[in-house]
Amino acid sequence: MRKIKHGKAASGCGDSCCLKLEGLNVRIQGEEILEDVSFHLHCGEIAALIGPNGAGKSTLFRSILGQLPYGGSITFTQMGGPAIRLAGGTVMGETRPLIGYVPQSPSFDRGDPVSVLDFFTAATAKWPVWLPVPKKYRDRCRRSLERVHGEDLLDKPMGGLSGGQLQRVLLALALEPVPHILVLDEPLSGVDMEGEHQLLEMLDEIRTNYDLSILLSTHDFATLGSFADKVILLNKRVLKVGTPDEVIASPEFYQTFHLRVGKGGER
Partner 1 sequence: MELWYQLVGLLPFEWAQPGGMYFMKNALLAVLVISPLFGLLSTMVVHSRMSFFSDALGHSAFTGMAIGALCGFNEPTWAAVIFAVVFALLFNLVRRKSALASDTVIGVFSSTAVALGIFLSTVGGRSFTKFNSLLIGDILSVDPAMIALLALILVLVVVLWVVSFNRLMLSAVHPALADSRGIKVFWQETVFSIAIAVVVTLSMTWVGLLVINSMLVLPAAAGRNVARNLFQYHLFSILGALAAGIAGLMTSYYVGASTGAAITLYLALWFILTFVVGKRN
Q: How many residues bind partner 1 (CB under 8 A)?
A: 35
Q: Which stretch binds partner 1 (CB under 8 A): 38-46, 71-79, 153-161, 247-255?
A: 153-161
Nearer to partner 1, 42 or 62 (CB): 62
- 8 A C-beta contact, residue 234 and residue 49: yes
Per DSSP, the three-state class of 152 is helix
Cα 183–chain centre separation: 2
Instruction: Give the burial class of 136: count Cβ atoms within 10 A of its Cβ; 0-12 exposed, 13-18 middle, 19 or more buried.
Output: exposed
Check if the beta carbon of residue 234 is closer than 8 Å to that of residue 37: yes
| Chain centre to alpha carbon of residue 208 | 16
- Under the criterion CB under 8 A, does residue 262 sit at the interface with partner 1? no
Using CB under 8 A, pick the residue from 30, 93, 113, 262 that binds partner 1: 113
Q: Which is nearer to partner 1, 53 or 107 (CB)?
A: 107
107: contact with partner 1 by CB under 8 A: yes
In order, the DSSP letters of 93-132 are: GGGSPPEEEE-S-----TT---BHHHHHHHHH-SS-TTSP
Taking CB under 8 A as the rule, which mask of x and - marks residues 157-186 in contact with partner 1?
x--x---------x----------------
Q: Phi, psi at residue 187, to the nearest 5°?
A: -70, -15
Q: Between 67 and 226, whose beta carbon lies closer to partner 1?
A: 67
- The 37-76 contact track toward partner 1, x by CB under 8 A, reads -------------------------x--x-x---------
Contact residues: partner 1, CB under 8 A: 62, 65, 67, 91, 99, 101, 103, 106-108, 110-115, 117-119, 121-123, 125-133, 155, 157, 160, 170
